[in-house]
Structure 1
Amino acid sequence: MKNKLFLAVIFIIVFFSCKQNTSKNELTFKFIQLNDVYEIAPLGEGTFGGLARVAHVRDSIKKENPNTFLFMAGDFLSPSLLGTIKVNGERIQGKQMIEVMNAMEFDLVTFGNHEFDLKEKDLQKRLNESSFPWMSSNVRHKKNDTVSFFEIQQYKDTLPVSDIFTMEMSDANNNQIKIGFLGVTLPYSVKDYVYYGNIYDEAERAHNELKNKVDLVFGLTHLELEQDKEFLKRIPEIPLVMGGHEHYAMSVPIGDSKITKADANAKTIYIHTLVYNVDEKSLKIESELFNIDDKITSKPEIENIVNKWGNILNFKIKEIIDEPSEVIFVSSESLDGTEKSNRSIQTNLGAIITQSMAWSFNDEVDAALVNGGSIRVDDMLPINLSSMDIFRTLPFGGGILKVDLKGVLLKEVLDYGMSKKGTGAYLQRYFVDQGPDGKWLIQGEEIILDKIYKVAFSDFLLRGFDIPFLTPNNKHVKNIHRPTKEDKAYDIRKATILYLKSLGN
């Protein structure tokens, strides 16, 4: 094992230093890009990811080239199982990410849509704890009918989150360069305290502000790919957009520029080698997608922080499940836990969860429904599923209720869920289909409006948060069976774990 790690270190240093043989009028610098990182520890039984490994890679490269910079293209404070855990009565809510990223000394981050999963006061705490700079050209803080920059409050100082960002560098040949960054975020998470300026208008404004002050401008974005493409069509002078949001790696050329996105949870990172000719004012970029896996050693200082938080998580999970890392099920295919899918289509993961809900009542229900917004992992799950994967998927837990309700209300609930496609109120379903004519079918039969149906619901749904009229006070709700602590239905995560174990593969 030690030999493997030693060879991995040698590979990193040699591979990324061999590209630096440049002429005296060329300055070489490096960008290390991450995006959509929700987990600080390795995943897949330790086989991929892990921010301590990323830190080691960055340090190895920076040792050879001091002009090496670390970026996060949004989505890192939420969602995660660890973020939902309470310590001293308060949910962690991304505090673990900030501590690790501070220790890693990130050079720049931008907002992703998931940063706004947090309540305003919790996001402010995370901003205040950050020792690295944040930047956004289109996201603003909406407060008391005013719109202004988000602020970082530390000690007696209050600093605005940057609208644009610049940095200067030089090399041993006294070559000098000043570069700028702009960043935009898609308006996906609508919150009362967040204002989103138009992506393209604000990007063009920021570029106009930067372009005469720096030698080069780069993008650090959290957009859908088509939005990134439009971004570059409008500002073709930007040679590189380091983006996020899609969760899978890509490098997309657009004219003389390109968009890059790494895999989520640091399964991969992009390492960009940029060579700037200070006389010709020309730039060459080579981008390498680099795997972060168990062949790479971890930086001890970062690993210690990761382990501290891991111990907190394991202690809390073991209050519910004895062996959280035990493989409980081997799937024939990856299970789709991505937010976009579970809020818009029926997924294989949604099917397993709703089947588990029905199973927890010995299948003595007519249907089972859970809101897609309850599925928080926003990732593809590994084939070898552990209990921890289920907790990552359903971090908020909660019970499963067996509800007797009239068909007229069941139809109204299903119609509402479909009308909310693309949001957390979209429903994952079991024993429920929609016929070619659009009519709802329960176990193959059209809904009878005055019939009483027994439906397994997540208890969250019956609180009226996602579906306002679905509450215990609705006149068409006739009875609610609430599980006891000894019942399988007491916790949706435990029900899913026990169901998968019962399949016996």
Structure 2
Amino acid sequence: MKRFWYYIFVFLLLIGCSSNNNNNGGNTPNPPDTPDTTKDLTIYFINDQHGQLDNFAKIKYIVDEAKESTNVIVACSGDIFSGNPVVDNYPEKGFPMIDIMNQVGFDVSVIGNHEFDYGEAIFTDRVNQANFQWVCANVDMSSSTIPQSSPYTTVTVDDIKVTFLGLVETNGKDDDIIPSTHPWRVQNLTFQRPEDVIAQYSDVKEQEGSDLMVALTHLGYQSFGGSISDSDIANQFPYFDLILGGHSHQIIDDNINGIPIYQSGSNLNYLGKAVIKIKDKTIQSIDHSLLNLNNYFNEDDDLKAIIDDYNNLPYLTEIIGNSQRYHNRPQVGCFYTDALRGAMNVDFSIQNSGGIRSDLNEGNITVREIFEISPFNNGTMIYSMTVAEIKNFLRGSGSGFYYSGIHIDQVGNTVEIRDINNSLLADNVVLTLGTNDYIPAVHDSYFTMAGDIQTLTAAETLIYYLENINSTVDYPSCSRYFRFQ
């Protein structure tokens, strides 16, 4: 019996000691551990991929691996279309790009100017297809079929909230406020200058209770055409913790007014990466790097198989001509305008420099290369214009053009136009002009006459020329470019 009470005593003693250890003396509970309020976040970002698909399998591998150890957001700064015929000429234009971005796991994209290139109906389908959030604060889509984009969205990952405000450039037309796309394809949309709307969102970070406020822009790093740029935003609207930009196709790693500004080149050659430590809703540190995807070899096998299937289009590899040498953009401009003039059977032709998107390599010319040179599916038109009307257009448009079939010179403050034999043409002489329909749409004040709409697009016209008129491209030197100064 004594032994029994002895064991009871020892048991109670042990319980008491254990209680004392757990309760800091048995009277006061242990204070909770002080939490580490520093939050870790990695943002991966791209811009201006222009339809390129191939490196997305690498991006998915990188992103998925990072998600195993940290918080990740994936963002795009716009211009996801126009540049790859696999995407641009797909039966449902643009579908492969959105499909692949969905599978990578993008969280947000700003609307770039080339998102409108396919027209309203197709962009409506692509917006509805996307699993990520589109943002753009300076467009009103209420009169169109396109679902209205949010001016901003807040992405939450774990306990981190990041708000992205979207902005698109509006330098598409001198006498209108539209992005740099075909004016006929945004007729039901209303745009504002980005600088006129930014201040409306100065308190959004506080309203959303966000850890970070990011400007996700498609404006360009520096001002062009009078519109605001990323650099201007940092100086004039310092509400942002970070600016992720696009449109100018640059590699940018800058800090202006204490705000980091990044841009990751173009055509999906690079993946931007920002490793951020956040404390008390401010960036404590940010480590920016740029991953060269062309030197990276790990890929997500499943996504690679899907991309390979999209790329399996034998008609794009069809040989339709031969390039006798490497041709840079000015040389391609000479080929382009010669082809328009020859295929359209006109006196002269013009082509805007921004509509030529690729050089031409030496060797066989494939269908793919022509669609890469001329990706926008612009139509073609023929106009009859007097020499005086042509001069007025060249003086007043402020734009530069490649041309074929005439000689154009600036003499002082006047323009002289000569025929192919170098004979000066009088102002009342009427010439036929072949051009893509983007030029008269942008410069409609100079193209008030009715044009003759052609059946082929600009790219199809180039292909017709190579297949039926002249399959050899050879321009050792060529400088048929005019811009009134």
Would the aligned equivalents of 1:270 and 1:290 in 2 still touch at CA under 8 Å? yes
Q: Hey, what does 2:217 align to over in structure 1? A: 221
1:446 to 419, 424, 427: 424
Q: CA deviation at 1:128?
A: 1.0
Residue 264 of structure 1 aligns with an amino acid whose one-letter code is: S
Q: Hey, what does 2:257 align to over in structure 1? A: 255
Question: C-alpha distance in 1, partners of 2:370/2:387?
Answer: 28
Q: Structure 1 pair 277/499, CA: closer, same or farther in 2 (3 Å)?
A: farther
**Counterparts of residues 231-310 of structure 1 (less than 5 Å):** 231-278=233-280, 281-293=282-294, 295-310=296-311
Question: C-alpha distance in 2, partners of 1:162/1:483?
Answer: 38
Q: Hey, what does 2:449 align to over in structure 1? A: 469
Question: C-alpha distance in 1, partners of 2:292/2:65?
Answer: 15
| SS of equivalent residue, structure 2 residue 472 | helix
Tell me whether 1:81 sits opposite 2:85 in the alignment. yes
Larger displacement relative to structure 2 (122-131 or 347-356): 347-356
Could you list the per-position Cα deviations for residues 353-372 of structure 1 after superposition, in whole angstroms to 9, with x for gaps in the alignment?
123445669xx98x631342
Q: Structure 1 pair 297/329, CA: closer, same or farther in 2 (3 Å)?
A: farther
**Counterparts of residues 39-50 of structure 1 (less than 5 Å):** 39-42=51-54, 50=55
Question: C-alpha distance in 1, partners of 2:393/2:138?
Answer: 32
Q: Hey, what does 1:93 align to over in structure 2? A: 93
Residue 68 of structure 1 aligns with an amino acid whose one-letter code is: V
Question: C-alpha distance in 1, partners of 2:369/2:392?
Answer: 31
Would the aligned equivalents of 1:400 and 1:492 in 2 still touch at CA under 8 Å? no
| SS of equivalent residue, structure 1 residue 389 | helix
2:465 to 483, 495, 501: 495
**Counterparts of residues 111-190 of structure 1 (less than 5 Å):** 111-143=111-143, 151=147, 161-170=149-158, 176-187=159-170, 188=172, 189=179
Q: Hey, what does 1:428 align to over in structure 2? A: 402
2:206 to 211, 219, 225: 211
Q: Hey, what does 2:42 align to over in structure 1? A: 30
Question: C-alpha distance in 1, partners of 2:37/2:322?
Answer: 56
Q: Structure 1 pair 177/369, CA: closer, same or farther in 2 (3 Å)?
A: same
Residue 110 of structure 2 aligns with an amino acid whose one-letter code is: T
Would the aligned equivalents of 2:134 and 2:150 in 1 still touch at CA under 8 Å? yes
Q: Structure 1 pair 236/398, CA: closer, same or farther in 2 (3 Å)?
A: closer
Give the share of equivalent positions with the same residue, in percent.
17
Q: Hey, what does 1:106 align to over in structure 2? A: 106
Would the aligned equivalents of 1:464 and 1:470 in 2 still touch at CA under 8 Å? no
Q: CA deviation at 1:241?
A: 0.5
Q: Hey, what does 2:191 align to over in structure 1? A: 196
Q: Hey, what does 1:69 align to over in structure 2? A: 73
Could you list the per-position Cα deviations for residues 1-25 of structure 1 after superposition, in whole angstroms to 9, with x for gaps in the alignment?
xxxxxxxxxxxxxxxxxxxxxx954
Would the aligned equivalents of 1:273 and 1:287 in 2 still touch at CA under 8 Å? yes
**Counterparts of residues 403-422 of structure 1 (less than 5 Å):** 409-422=386-399
1:389 to 345, 363, 369: 369
Question: C-alpha distance in 2, partners of 1:116/1:483?
Answer: 22
Residue 472 of structure 2 aligns with an amino acid whose one-letter code is: K
When Rg is computed on C-alpha atoms for both structures, the one with the higher figure is 2
Would the aligned equivalents of 2:166 and 2:215 in 1 still touch at CA under 8 Å? yes
Residue 71 of structure 1 aligns with an amino acid whose one-letter code is: A
Q: Hey, what does 2:14 align to over in structure 1? A: none
Q: CA deviation at 1:80?
A: 4.3
2:63 to 36, 41, 58: 58
Could you list the per-position Cα deviations for residues 387-407 of structure 1 after superposition, in whole angstroms to 9, with x for gaps in the alignment?
322222224487898x9x6xx
Question: C-alpha distance in 2, partners of 1:36/1:103?
Answer: 19
Unaligned runs of 5+ in 1: 1-22, 43-49, 152-159, 171-175, 336-346, 474-481
> When the two structures are superposed, what TM-score results if normalisation uses the length of structure 2?
0.72
Q: CA deviation at 1:245?
A: 0.4
Q: How many residues align?
A: 410
| SS of equivalent residue, structure 1 residue 245 | coil
> When the two structures are superposed, what TM-score results if normalisation uses the length of structure 1?
0.69
Unaligned runs of 5+ in 2: 1-34, 173-178, 224-228, 477-485
Would the aligned equivalents of 1:483 and 1:490 in 2 still touch at CA under 8 Å? no
User: Over aligned residue pairs, what C-alpha RMSD do you find?
Assistant: 3.9
Could you list the per-position Cα deviations for residues 189-221 of structure 1 after superposition, in whole angstroms to 9, with x for gaps in the alignment?
352222223413422222312235222211101
Q: CA deviation at 1:256?
A: 1.0
Q: Stretches of 4+ moved more than 4 A in 1?
A: 357-361, 382-386, 397-401, 450-453, 458-466, 496-500
Could you list the per-position Cα deviations for residues 230-252 of structure 1 after superposition, in whole angstroms to 9, with x for gaps in the alignment?
21222224231001101122223
